[in-house]
Amino acid sequence: MNNTLRLSEIAGVGHYVPNRVVTNADLTGLMDTTDEWIQERTGIRERRWFEEGKDTTANMGANAARKALEMAGLTPDDVQLIVFATLSPDYFFPGSGVLLQRELGIQAPIPAFDVRNQCSGFVYALSMADQFIKTGMYDTVLVVGSEIHSSGLDISTRGRAVSVIFGDGAGAVVLRPSTRAEHGILSTHLHSQGEHAEELIVKEPGSNRNNRVEYVVANELDMYPYMNGQNVFKHAVVRFPQVIKEALDQNGYQPQDLDMLIPHQANLRITQYVQQKMGLPESKIFSNIQRYGNTTAASVPIALSEAVQEGRIKRGDLVCLAAFGSGFTWASALIKW
């Protein structure tokens, strides 16, 4: 960290999830699975699925953003930059950042861009926003993670290993220059390893075809997510502790100094493994995967928003956000709240 640069702080956080609750029992009507299997392997009891005609990736992000702005005492017109993390944009192009700008009614031609880093997307987006604040280029940055998975899942028995995991939702934070010395985002840490790109992938509609539309029509199965679950699991349980430790080391802290760890909600078993590996009590690690499943880029800000709402994060607390996912990519952010 360069201490001569100003720190940024999370001035507001909010989330939105669709009303439609889909329980494990509901899934048993669609595929050969059981509540026991899903709970035992993932911890998930239910997830939210969007409502067509009502929820979009951009407007769910806008709902979360309005709450974050309200908490910060700001309005959409105060926003100077939008950073939008999603793997499930409303359109192939343009990205969801500009759609969010429109949803929020922001008339000023502020910059907006998308980050495509899947489960690590929000922490990557937060890190980018942090750099803009640190350098003084912007004072108010909206960082959003929003996903609609349910419309792209194979909800037959063929796709059950993946489709029971994912859910829809959105979370957002407002970043501002820190008003308190040595409080705010202390450091962020970003990594990737592209050799594992195909281990967790939605392959189509890829652009490397002579006629991609024709190809997709003939190979529609490649539009569903594929995951080598066991391999992803093996890497996740190594990378999560590594990237959390990296953040603590850089700032001279030990795991026991952490007040709250907000991991990406990938699988409750992964979270429990990380908790044990870091030697943390259950009260210091936040889990809501039971109610929402894995919402990829939305999972960290939804969890952060709930943790703040529930009073589990207080001023001055040491908070770590950490994520791992497709790419592979992984990332962390250490925050003095």
- Please pick, among 119, 149, 235, 267, the residue that the annotation labels catalytic: 119
Q: Does 119 bind ligand ACO (CB under 6 A)?
A: yes
Stretch that binds ligand ACO, among 48-56, 157-165, 169-177, 209-217 (CB under 6 A): 157-165
Q: Decide whether 77 or 198 has the Cβ nearer to ligand ACO.
A: 198
Ramachandran region, residue 158 (left: φ > 0; alpha: ψ -120 to 50; beta: rest): alpha
One of 41, 45, 183, 277 touching ligand ACO (CB under 6 A): 41
Q: Decide whether 164 or 308 has the Cβ nearer to ligand ACO.
A: 164
Q: Exposed, middle or buried, 151 (CB in 10 Å: 0-12/13-18/19+)?
A: exposed
DSSP helix/strand/coil, 209 = coil
Cα 280 to Cα 53: distance, rounded to the nearest angstrom: 43
Q: Does 237 bind ligand ACO (CB under 6 A)?
A: no
19 is catalytic: no
Least CB distance to ligand ACO at residue 296 (A): 5
Q: Does 326 bind ligand ACO (CB under 6 A)?
A: yes
Stretch that binds ligand ACO, among 33-41, 59-67, 128-136, 205-213 (CB under 6 A): 33-41
Centre a 10 Å sphere on the Cβ of residue 261 and count the other Cβ atoms it contains: 23
Cα 225 to Cα 204: distance, rounded to the nearest angstrom: 9
Residues 272-301 that bind ligand ACO (CB under 6 A): 294, 296
Q: Does 233 bind ligand ACO (CB under 6 A)?
A: yes
Cα 249 to Cα 29: distance, rounded to the nearest angstrom: 48
Task: Name the token pair of 157.
Answer: 């028995």
Cα 164 to Cα 296: distance, rounded to the nearest angstrom: 14
320 is catalytic: no
DSSP helix/strand/coil, 336 = strand
Contact positions vs ligand ACO (CB under 6 A): 33, 37-38, 41-42, 118-119, 160-161, 164, 200, 229-230, 232-233, 236, 266-267, 270, 294, 296, 325-326
Cite the active site residues. Answer: 119, 264, 294
